Amino acid sequence: MGKKIAFILSGCGVKDGSEIHEAVAALIALDRAGYEVIFAAPDVEQAATVDHRTASAESITRNTLKESARIARGNILPLSELRSEDYDAVMFPGGFGAALTLCSFAVDGPECSVNPEVESLINEALQSGKPIAAMCIAPVILARTIPGAKLTIGSHPETADAISAMGAVHVNCPVNESVVDLERKLVTTPAYMLASGPAEVYEGALSMVEELGRLF
């Protein structure tokens, strides 16, 4: 049996949930490498809901777990039910939901808070020596929760400065590569922080999954 990856989603859609291209690129890369994916998401209301055609905020509310189930094809756990023995590593695709619902970086910047279930998952993985991977904007969650974490969001200067303000170490990285923190077993890749299309996202996902395999 292959290693099991806890794949943590934040909804469905780049502007208020998980970025679908990134999620699918990572899932294909994981599948090709022989990993088994365990989908999970917090069972909470999304911090925001956005009309993706107009980029305008909507007054309706959406549940993060239910929306994430669209990407997971229904086979998804509430994050509260995910147990340590269920997974060997953790992965976060990007999308603005990572910075709105999984943490509050989109609103609070370096002073952001992290969803308690997400923070507990990260702390458990760290204590157990399990690798953690993140794409696009999702590495800000690691910056907030892991002092001194070495990671990348590509080369966006304001976001890199915010990561440094949280006590992490930002490393500029091209879209088709990833950054590895060997000490903490972290691997991050820029994805749509730099990518011009899904092919570049997939190249970064392949690099991330390849480096992830070296951390076990």
Say whether 160 sits in a helix, a strand or coil: helix
Q: How far apart are CA 108 and CA 131, in angstroms?
A: 27
Write the CB contacts of 10 (distance below 8 Å, at least 6 apart in sequence).
Answer: 17, 18, 41, 42, 46, 64, 68, 95, 97, 98, 100, 101, 102
Beta-bridge mates of residue 81: none
Q: How far apart are CA 95 and CA 90, in angstroms?
A: 16
Q: What tokens does 11 get?
A: 């909804």
Inter-residue contact 112 to 98 (CB < 8 Å): no
| 136 among known catalytic residues | yes
The residue annotated as part of the active site, out of 103, 112, 136, 173, is 136
> To 10 degrees, the CA torsion angle through 156, 162, 165, 171?
-30
Active site residues: 136
